[in-house]
Structure 1
Amino acid sequence: MTIEQRSARGAHLGLLAWSVLVGLSFPAVGLLSELPPLSLTALRFAIACLGLWGLVRRAPDVWPGWRALLWFAAMGLCLAGFFGAMFWAAHHATALSMATLYVSVPLLAYGMGRGFGVERPSWQLPAILALGAVGALGLAAAEAIQRGGSWRFGTGEAVFFLGCVCSALYPVLSRHGLESGRLPASAAVRTFWSLGLGGLLIGALGLAIEPVGQLAAMTWRDGLLIVYLGLCSSALTFWLMQRATALLGPGTVTAYGYLVPFVSMLLLFLESPSRIGWVWLPGSALVLLAIVLLLVQPSAPAESPGGARRDG
């Protein structure tokens, strides 16, 4: 196995860890008190940046030039757009509708990646992404059958779909910034600045529309959970994504999101073993098959100038 193949395999394993961390974050969020969600996200991102500072403060490219700063601002706007749309849509759309729409992100990322020239023309990858999307839809349908949910498309769903477009655009901008030499080689630096600027935008939106004073009602348990979410569910997950973006295409990177409902399903079974049933099997099998096929796909390394393959 070549060094390049080992690096790509490490990126895939990192994304497997990413899907587990993201899947575990949902139960943690559910334990939080009722707090302003946008302000809470901005606080998580601030904690994530504090945690990352120890990694980036001695990096030679920690202070980006104006071109990189503008690119980071665009990436931060993607984060603000996704989280803003998600929190608004949570009050205007069903959870099933949002889960169903979110499976479009990998295919959107691949399509936009082709437009930006950072995805190779291929029929295999879109087919694998479609397979994973069908599996994720199967898991959403299984949950709907057990909970009696329903799917519809209204204003809330339309807003959330725009948020999904923002989510898909984030790794595309990261990859294009790397290949064009606009962004630094260090994954930690890229994570630090995109989360920092994204957190500022989300925080500004929270100040404008939320009762920020409710954060004063935060308990010590809330504080511990937010620190965990900031370090593990924000800093570490976005670093793993940025690290993988330098080696894998945006479609492949985002496809690991198909595993998140699978992780949630496993947690559900641990909590309520009686809910295990055959209805979950088709979706689970398709998701796992898609991930296995992704693991054996050849990667397309970034071709950034100045040795951007370094991913510290």
Structure 2
Amino acid sequence: MTGAVALITKGDAGALRRLGWSTGELWMLPVVICAAAQVLLLKRTPAGVTQGPLLTASVLVVLVSMLPFLALQPRLQAPVDAGALAAIAYIGVMASALAFWLWNRSVAAVGPTRASSYLYLMPLYGAVMSHLALGGPLQGYQAVGGGLVLVGLWMARSPPARSGSSARR
């Protein structure tokens, strides 16, 4: 978590104190809680329920829950061109359906506790993808934060050390 915080705050530890919370950031709190609940509930998926129906049900719940917020939004006047349609298709297929399908399979394969530790890679992926896709320079804080994330994952995967007399046997 320390590595992820270093990446998010750009290496400025004081940035956490100076954060001005916007409405969008506050809305992320229930999103994170729901995501954690979804991971925990995946353990309780009834036998015989495959990924297709599970993913479809999840998408429907999200879409229905978003309708009231969509109704409150002003109408956008943005042009719809081939680039916008390609971006929407990418988000809908790759970043949503395929990503959730792979995530659900991962949680089923390794368990929610082990799978959730890999969420700390998201800021690192963001930094690397920014560099690769947008040509942004890699910064020192990104290297330090990314290193801390990788060390944390390595520590989480390592077997716990035995304590006391049982280790001497």
Residues 215 and 291 of structure 1: CA distance in aligned 2, closer, same or farther (over 3 Å): farther
Partner of 1:243: 105
One-letter code aligned to 1:162: P
Aligned residue for 1:214, secondary structure, equals coil
One-letter code aligned to 2:19: R
Indicate which of 72, 77, 80 corresponds to 1:209.
72
Partner of 1:167: 35
Residues 239 and 151 of structure 1: CA distance in aligned 2, closer, same or farther (over 3 Å): farther
One-letter code aligned to 2:51: A
- 2:7 aligned with 1:139, yes or no? yes
Residues 190 and 296 of structure 1: CA distance in aligned 2, closer, same or farther (over 3 Å): farther
Q: CA deviation at 1:257?
A: 1.9
Using the alignment, how far apart are the partners of 2:157 and 2:31 within structure 1? 28
**1:139 and 1:283 in contact (8 A); partners too:** yes
**2:5 and 2:145 in contact (8 A); partners too:** yes
Indicate which of 248, 255, 261 corresponds to 2:117.
255
**1:138 and 1:283 in contact (8 A); partners too:** yes
Q: Which sections of structure 1, spanning at least 5 residues, go unmatched?
A: 1-132, 298-312
Residue by residue over 1:276-301, the C-alpha shift from the partner in whole angstroms, topping out at 9 and shown as x without a partner, is: 3433332111111233345556xxxx
**2:124 and 2:142 in contact (8 A); partners too:** no
CA RMSD of aligned residues (A): 3.0
Identical counterparts, % of pairs: 23
Write the mapping of 1:106-145 to structure 2, written as runs, cut at 5 A: 133-142=1-10
One-letter code aligned to 1:219: D
RCO higher in structure (CA 8 A, sep ≥6): 2
**2:10 and 2:142 in contact (8 A); partners too:** yes
Q: CA deviation at 1:235?
A: 0.7
Partner of 1:286: 148
Residue by residue over 1:189-237, the C-alpha shift from the partner in whole angstroms, topping out at 9 and shown as x without a partner, is: 21121112211221x12342113x4377422211111111111000100
Q: CA deviation at 1:171?
A: 1.0
Q: Which sections of structure 2, spanning at least 5 residues, go unmatched?
A: 160-169
Partner of 1:152: 19
Using the alignment, how far apart are the partners of 2:4 and 2:49 within structure 1? 33
Partner of 2:163: none
**1:190 and 1:242 in contact (8 A); partners too:** no
Write the mapping of 1:26-175 to structure 2, written as runs, cut at 5 A: 133-142=1-10, 151-152=18-19, 154=21, 156=23, 157-175=25-43
Residues 230 and 158 of structure 1: CA distance in aligned 2, closer, same or farther (over 3 Å): closer
Aligned residue for 1:243, secondary structure, equals helix
**Alignment: residue pair count:** 156
Residues 235 and 272 of structure 1: CA distance in aligned 2, closer, same or farther (over 3 Å): same
**Larger Rg over CA atoms:** 2
Using the alignment, how far apart are the partners of 1:155 and 1:268 within structure 2? 23
**1:191 and 1:235 in contact (8 A); partners too:** yes
Partner of 1:53: none
Residues 150 and 272 of structure 1: CA distance in aligned 2, closer, same or farther (over 3 Å): farther
Q: CA deviation at 1:139?
A: 1.1
TM-score normalised by L of structure 1: 0.43
- 2:59 aligned with 1:191, yes or no? no
